[in-house]
Each structure stands twice: as C-alpha cells, then as structure tokens.
Structure 1
Amino acid sequence: SAIRPPKPTIPKTLLNPNDESQVRKVEGKEIKFNNLSKLYWPEDKVTKRDMFNYYYAVADFILPYLKDRPLSLNRFPGGIHGQSFYQKDVKGKAPDWAKTFPYSTSDGEPKEYLVGDDVATLLWMNTLGCIEINPWFSRVSSPDNPDYCVIDLDPDKHHFDKVIEAALVVKKVLDSIDVPSFPKTSGSTGIHIYIPMGGKYDYDQSQLFARIIVGIVNKIIPKFTSLERMISARGGKMYLDFLQNRPGATIAGPYSLRPKPGATVSMPLEWDEVKPGLKMKDFTIFNAIERLKVKGDIFRGVLGKGIDLETAILKAKELYP
C-alpha cells in the first residue's frame, strides 16, 4: 500500500475495469468493493466502480475538508434513483480502525458519528452507498466552533443566472467589509459561499453574521430574494439561507459527487468564473479531475485564518445602516 506524498496528487486508478468484486489494501487497511458494474447514475452510464475510482483520485483534495469532522452518511445503496436514507450512528458498524465521535440523542442514547480521517475512511463510507460527502462545519476538537460560515443560495423556481446575480451581490457586500469569500457550486441547484471563521466563534455567532449579510443582500435585491424560511411565504422568491450555520447541520463538501443526473460535482470556483452562463453540469465526474490537475485546490483559504467578526459587523453597520 502506497504512502502518499503531502502535496495533493492524483494517484493511479484504484480498481481494475473487469472484476465485479475486488479487495484493496488502502494505507494498510483492507476494504472490499462489490457489485462494481452497478449503475449508480444510469443516464450517464456511471458505475459504482467509477465512483470509487473518482474518490480515490481526488482524496488528497477532499480530505482536508473531512479530517477530524463528524460525517452525516447520506446513503444511496441502489444508486441515485433508489431509496436513500441518512445514517448518523455507526456504533458497532464501522471498522475497528475507523475514528468515531460519541454523542447522545435527545433521549440520552449513546451513538457514534463516523469521523473523516483518511482515504480508507472515505472509501469505506463510499462502500455504504455514500455518493456525497457531508462533513460538519466544525471539528471534533472544538465541535461548537465552526471553521467557516456558509451562505446557501438556492434558486427555487428561478433560473441559475439569478443565483449567480445574488452570489455576486453577496461578494460585493463581503468585499466592501474586507471579508474574504469562497464560492462553489452545490452540484445540485445552487451556490454555496464560504467565509473562513477559523474556529474562533460559535455557531450562533456565525449564523448571526450570515443573517446580517443576507439581510443587506435582500435590501439590495428585494425583487427576487427572500429571507422567509417557509416556502409558501416566499412568493416564489429565491431563499437566502443563513440557517445552515448550526451544530450538526451539513451540506455536500467541496469536490463531493452529487446523486443527481449528470454525475455533477460540488466544485470550488474562482470568483471570475461566477458569471452568467455558468452551469451546474459544467463540473462532473467526467472532467473534475482534469480541472484539479490544472487549478489545484483553490478552496484552501476556507480553512485559513478566520475573519475578525466584531470588526466585520461594525463595518457592515457603518456601510449599511
């Protein structure tokens, strides 16, 4: 089993194209891969084998966003059109080598989240039918302190170009208060905008900040955006979602595949790529690896030094009274 260098690299293919079942030692941990010809994305003729090979190839890029984070398992054992279900508790089910994070349900029952750690953990999760990867915003060492704040733009019935328009307003507002931001496609219908928090603040503070920003954005583009949580109260307007910033909430992480036709990927973007004409299906299992070879990981700033929240809020109040 190869020891992988620290710089993100794209390794050779994990699984051969023929055998239906294969066993591989990944970093000394044995994993069994079954039913490899099963079509997970039937319209795109993308198999379970393709999914494993994709995650093995992008592991160095995706792992920094999974390391030490509890994971919510969104399982699609029958592929994207089969029945799916969420699993949070892996107590007694995960391999001995897997890291877990204990938690209690509201009725005090002890459970364990799987914790993102290494390539083997990622691939074991994929064997459960986890097409997408959903990490917490915070790490096990400080579960109440997110590393980033997320503004989630979802079009509802609007054209994706409207999401782009709203994203650019978010960027303009954040730029004006000297706050860095990092966009990615959701891989489904929207755009996620991440703001580095550096684990210095709790979820309530992070959510409050997101609420302030979307409040300003909504005032600038009230015609087609809404802060109403109830769909019926939005009147068809696009929801500016700040409520993802709460303990235990998850969204698909960067470089995650999505269980959607097209085998789309949640892809980090340069801001100058966020312009009309951008489409969700521009980034898929078929071209993501080529893009990473050229661009590298352009999202790393998300895990960098966090903003100074007090300064940012004071500046926002001054500029947008």
Structure 2
Amino acid sequence: MLPKDKPGLEVEVEGRLVKLTNLGKPFWPELGITKRGLLQYYIDVAPFLLPHLQDRAMVMKRYPNGAAGDFFFMKRAPSPRPEWIELCHIQHSSGNVIDFPMIQDLASLLWVVNLGCIDLNQWYARCDDVDRPDYVHFDLDPVPAASFEKVIETALLLRQALESLKMPCYAKTTGSKGIHIYVPIERGPTQKQVWSFAKEFSHALASQAPQLITAVYTVAKRPKGRVLVDYNQNAWGRTLASIYSVRPRPKATVSTPVKWSEVERGISIEDFRIDNVPARLRRLGDLWKPLLAKRGRFTLEVYL
C-alpha cells in the first residue's frame, strides 16, 4: 500500500526506482480519490493488466489536473525518462519514426500513470510487427437518444453473428458509454485487411437491424437513436482504452471484462468502478485471459 502521509516518494519496484509525485492531488475530488488512489488501483490490478499491455506501443493521454481537467495526447516517449523504459520505434506514412513507450512491467506502469495517464491506450499489434494485429474488435457506441439497453441488445446480436461464423468473442464495458467486443485472431492479416473485414461485417449487421444499429461513420448522415458499430477503430494506429483502464468519468468507472451471462442479465457502466474492480478480479480472475492464449484464435484469412 502506498503511504497516505507523503506527498511524494521514490519506490523500488523489482530493482527499479520509480519517483511518484503529487500523490495528494485530487483526481476525482467529488469522490475523494487522489492520484495516490489511482496509482494504488493500478498496483492492485497489475498482475491481470500487464500481460495485455506488454510489447505494445502506448499512446499517452495525460490528465495533469485530474479526470475533469484538460488532457493532451503524447505519442513520443517524453525525455528525460528512466533508462529502463522500453521503446517501440514505429515509422509512419510521413516517414517520421515515433518512439512510443511500452508498459512492460509494474515500474513502467507506475511511471506512465504518475505522468497523469488515467486510462491506457495501447496498439492492437505487438511491436515486432505493428501491421499485424492480434484482434479484430467492434466498438459499440450509443448515438444520441440511444439507451445503454440498446447497446446490450446490439452486443448480443453481434455475438450471435460472430458465433455463427465460429468466431470466439469477448466483451468488456468501455467504462464510458458503450461495450467493446474483441475477437482473438491468428496473427497474419494486415491491419487494413482486418479493418476491411470489420467494415463489411458491421454494415452487414446493421442491414439486419436498421432500427437498432448503424455503421454509418459520417456523423451528419448517422441516424439518431441507433447504436454505432464502430469498425474504424480497427484502422492502423488507432487505439481504444485498454482492459482494466480507469476512465476519466464522474464515477471513476473501469473498462471491465464481463461474462456473456452478465450481459444477458443486464449490466450498467457504473457497476464497474475503481473501488470494486480489484475485488472482482480477485474473485473471478481475468475473464479475458483467453485473448492472451496462442490456442483458440480465429483464422481470419478464411473470410478475406
């Protein structure tokens, strides 16, 4: 446990010194949650979280003044930084090479969170081949006037459609407004091929339930009261809030894996928060552990 009486300290983590600063800064003042509380949460969930982050470039989204404050994105790892922060060097279409940080262990996780990163946003492909992702995923986002119950209904329809293709799928709350559904795939297809499959699949699903679902990406043309199946998050270089990320929302909600039986019974975003997710993990373990396995992944090439 981090001490409650120190505004800052240096902690040794697996032989590495990490400087933690401004621990008393309110990050959710109305909830009484400080930066210390955020760091302690990530310490508590690290054994479950780290395997999902390792070897992946991280886009830093920094909230220096807490969840309700302004934020800014950083792709390039800031300097100075500890020598043990591993980097992922990614060349972009402009020709620029960006040195992204990677979260490889508890020390690097604490270093990133101490910089004001509330949620964590990692690439879908591992650093040794950033154009070949490990997942295809669908971001279910309610359009204005659509309820979360409609998001649940969409998630169950999406699951049914994926399973009809023998594709295993796993759900988590976004911690914000929607649900993420991931399919673990055999590494091989390029990010563009994965995106193309997700686009075709999403439009086909929307055509089956046009009063509930839309895949129209242009906001001005998007019908109200529907649930957007956002396939564009599969594009190269895009990221989503990771598993077990705390979100900068009023209730300090967490992007949390859920059982399909829970989705069927009915859940809400605020069921999963910084104050109760660690206990849930201790009770249920990592429901998304299958996404880390080499076996049981879908061979997407059969549909390309």
Q: TM-score, normalised by structure 2?
A: 0.94
Aligned residue in 1 for 2:194: 206
CA contact (8 A) 1:100 1:113 kept: yes
1:13-52 equivalences in 2 (<5 Å) = 13=1, 15-52=2-39
User: Does 1:263 find its partner at 2:242?
Assistant: no
Name 2:235's counterpart in structure 1: 246
Which SS does the other structure have where 2:240 is aligned? coil
Residue 198 (structure 1) shift: 2.9
Q: In structure 1, the residue corresponding to 2:245 is in which secondary structure?
A: coil
2:114 is the alignment partner of 1:127: yes
Verify the 8 A CA contact 1:144 1:203 in the aligned structure 2. yes
1:160-191 per-residue CA deviation (whole Å, 9 max, x = no partner) reads 00000000000000111111000000000010
Match of 2:161 among 173, 180, 199: 173
1:151 aligned counterpart, secondary structure: strand
**Whole-angstrom CA distance in 2 between matches of 1:192 and 1:86:** 22
Which segments of 5 or more consecutive residues in structure 1 lack a partner in the other structure? Answer: 1-12, 315-321
* Alpha-carbon distance change, 105 to 142 in structure 1, aligned in 2, over 3 angstroms: closer
Q: Does 1:309 align with 2:300?
A: yes
Tell me the equivalent position of 2:140.
Answer: 153
CA distance in structure 2 between the aligned counterparts of 1:199 and 1:94, rounded to whole angstroms: 32
Task: Specify the alignment match of 1:142 in structure 2.
Answer: 129
Rounded Cα–Cα distance in structure 2 between residues aligned with 1:215 and 1:272? 26
Residue 319 of structure 1 is matched in structure 2 by none
Greater mean alpha carbon deviation, residues 299-308 or residues 21-30: 299-308
Matches of residues 68-83 of structure 1 in structure 2 within 5 Å?
68-83=55-70
Q: Is the 8 A contact 2:142 2:178 kept in 1?
A: yes
- Match 2:43 to one of 46, 50, 56: 56
Percent identity of the aligned residues?
Answer: 37
Choose which of 180, 187, 196 in structure 1 pairs with 2:184. 196
Per-residue CA shift, 1:195-249, capped at 9, x if unaligned? Answer: 0013222112211221232123212211122111111101213211111112211
Equivalent pair of 2:213/2:229 in contact (CA under 8 Å)? yes
Give the conservation status (yes or no) of the 8 Å contact 2:198–2:231: yes
Paired with 1:270 and 1:36, the residues of 2 have a C-alpha distance of 35
The question of whether the paired residues in 1 share the 8 Å contact of 2:186 and 2:299 is answered with no
Instruction: Render the CA deviation track for 1:98-133: whole Å, top value 9, x for unaligned.
Output: 100123455544431001211111100001100001
Q: What's the secondary structure of 1:30's corresponding residue?
A: strand
The CA distance in 1 between the partners of 2:100 and 2:116, in whole Å, is 16
The CA deviation string for residues 280-299 of structure 1, in whole angstroms up to 9 with x for no partner, is 00000110011001110110
1:23 shift after superposition: 1.2
User: Kindly tell me: are residues 125 and 112 of structure 1, through their superposed partners in 2, closer, same or farther at Cα, counting changes over 3 Å?
Assistant: same
- Which residue is equivalent to 1:100? 87
CA–CA distance in structure 1, aligned partners of residues 90 and 128 of structure 2 = 13
Identify which of 225, 234, 242 aligns with 2:213.
225
Question: Does the Cα contact within 8 Å between 1:91 and 1:112 map onto a contact in 2?
Answer: no
Preserved contact between residue 65 and residue 135 of structure 1 (Cα < 8 Å):
no
Report if the CA contact (8 A) 1:147-1:303 is conserved. Answer: no
* SS of match in other structure, 1:122: helix
SS at 1:273 equivalent:
helix
Report how many aligned residue pairs link the two structures.
300
Amino acid across the alignment from 1:285: I
Mapped to 1, the partners of 2:91 and 2:195 lie a distance apart of 24
Partner Cα separation in structure 2 for residue 103 and residue 173 of structure 1: 35
Q: Please, which runs of 5 or more residues in structure 2 have no aligned partner?
A: none
From 221, 235, 252, the equivalent of 2:223 is 235
Q: Secondary structure at the match of 2:143?
A: coil
Distance of 1:95 and 1:180 partners within structure 2:
39
Over 3 Å counting, the alpha-carbon distance change for 1:32 and 1:105 in structure 2 is same
